[in-house]
Amino acid sequence: MALRTVTRKLGSKLLPRFSPASLLHSHATSFGFKEVREDEKRRMVGDVFSNVASNYDLMNDVMSAGLHRLWKDRLVSKLNPFPGMKHLDVAGGTGDVAFRILDSINSIRRRAMQDVLEDDLQEETKVYVSDINPNMLNVGKKRALDRGLGGDKSLLWVEGDAEALSFGDNTMDGYTIAFGIRNVTHIEKVLSEAYRVLKHGGRFLCLELSHVDVPVFKEFYDYYSFSIIPTLGELIAGDRESYQYLVESIRRFPSQETFASMIAEAGFQKVEYENLVGGVVAIHSGLKV
């Protein structure tokens, strides 16, 4: 499957009219194709990720044929990490994105091959992994120990809600969220919090499963999503229902254009998105100026 990309930049005049404010007044929300109360969704999503935590990374490999690794590499390359940065990775429980960010920073240090200043910057580097699910965080912490990461206090784990972050205003150089934002109850609150914690000049990046824009490929993708992925979940993880929800949640997520509009509504500038594999996934980005 080719990794073709399409990048679209959205100026304020080109954005379709969209206001997420109406979502705030509803006490019902979606859980896959079901309509549930907001408090129910929080619990049900928590149950899903508690159930899949131990097999989460394995299933990502199986479902995407390993392509999720390339997608995350692309996400981090767009972030352009640097020594001394303060970064927040939200819904990052198992550490996949955070590890890549630290690896990128360490690679920069090795290339620099010097000096006291570089060491000082590394001591100040902080990559925070925030996740609402303690089971996902526990998997990430174990993986970090196995990799020998975090001993210098550059990697920190925080149990927290993406809709109400515990970090101060204007404290982060970067914010990433990969395969997480479609599972929250209020997307607009997550975006508002991302904007709040970022410094001026800070970058927001979101990697999310999205909407295929190639008609013939879409038919195959729909068949694979609804017929194959839940079966794989049952065979490998012993959990068909959780993976049925994950597939349905993708279809309920806003289109690339609509989500880009929501990012702009949150205050971000230079909003753009990049489709990968015909829109199977998209990387959205915005800048706080």
Instruction: Indicate the annotated binding residues.
Output: 94, 131, 161-162
8 Å CB contact between 204 and 262: no
Binding-site annotation, residues for S-adenosyl-L-methionine:
94, 131, 161-162
Coil, helix or strand for 130?
A: strand
Q: How many CB atoms lie within 10 A of CB 188?
A: 18
First-to-last alpha carbon distance for the chain, in angstroms, is: 37
Nearest residue to 183 via CA among 269, 93, 58, 83: 93
Q: How many CB atoms lie within 10 A of CB 285?
A: 23
Q: Measured between alpha carbons, how far is 135 from 46 in angstroms, rounded to an integer? A: 10
Q: Measured between alpha carbons, how far is 77 from 240 in angstroms, rounded to an integer? A: 34
